[in-house]
Amino acid sequence: MTSRSNNSRRGASKSTNAGKSAGVSLPNWAWLLAGLVIGVFAAFLAGLTPSAKDVRSVAGQVKSSSGDEQQKDNQPVFDFYTLLPESEVTVSIAEPELKPEPVSAKKTESKPDQKPSASAKKYLLQAGSFRSDKDAERLRAQLLLEGLTPKVEKVSVGTGETWHRVQLGPFTDRASLHNAQEVLASKNIDSLLLQLK
């Protein structure tokens, strides 16, 4: 009997230990109800947060209700559309006045190596002015390939900087000057006409 009573005690003690370790057990309908309540609460929270469409529509309503005057104040004003036509300056491209010297009997008999008279005006074309001598030499080489004879002149300005000017000339006749200007214009190079003193 002692063995049976020991067995029954062992079984009894096991069943009481198993019940304590399992904790409180809820029926299935309670779990279903708890899940339903949590789902409804999550849906409620999702309904409280605004979507991007809602934010845009509210922002659009606020902007439209503020009026057109405030929108005009916030937009930049461009005055150059009206200022530019008022300050328009017409520039006339004047050909330099190169007068051919009158032909006289003495000049036709003159020596071929004789220099032109001092009264003739001489012109230079400046094709560019650069701080870097490499840039000036690059333009000089480009103009040499076009059949012109440019030279690079170093000039120091008042601030102590050295500039490299690419110049063509001097020109004493209008035809060669005009030819050089056409070559520069065909290469999209703006030239500056300078009169020598």
Express each pLDDT in 90-102 by its tens digit: 655 666 565 555 5
Q: How does pLDDT run across 132-174, given as a tens digit for each residue?
A: 999 999 999 999 998 899 999 998 888 888 899 999 988 888 8
Give the burial string for 6-16 (b: 16+ CB within 10 Å, else e): eeeeeeeeeee
pTM flag (> 0.85)? no
- Domains within the chain, CATH numbers bracketed: 120-196 (3.30.70.1070)
Calculate what percentage of the chain has a pLDDT beyond 90: 22
DSSP 165: E
Given a cut of 50, whether residue 105 has pLDDT beyond it is no
Sequence-distant (6+) residues with CB within 8 A of 151 are 140, 166, 167, 168
Pairing label, strands 122-130, 162-171: antiparallel
- What average pLDDT score do residues 111-123 get? 60
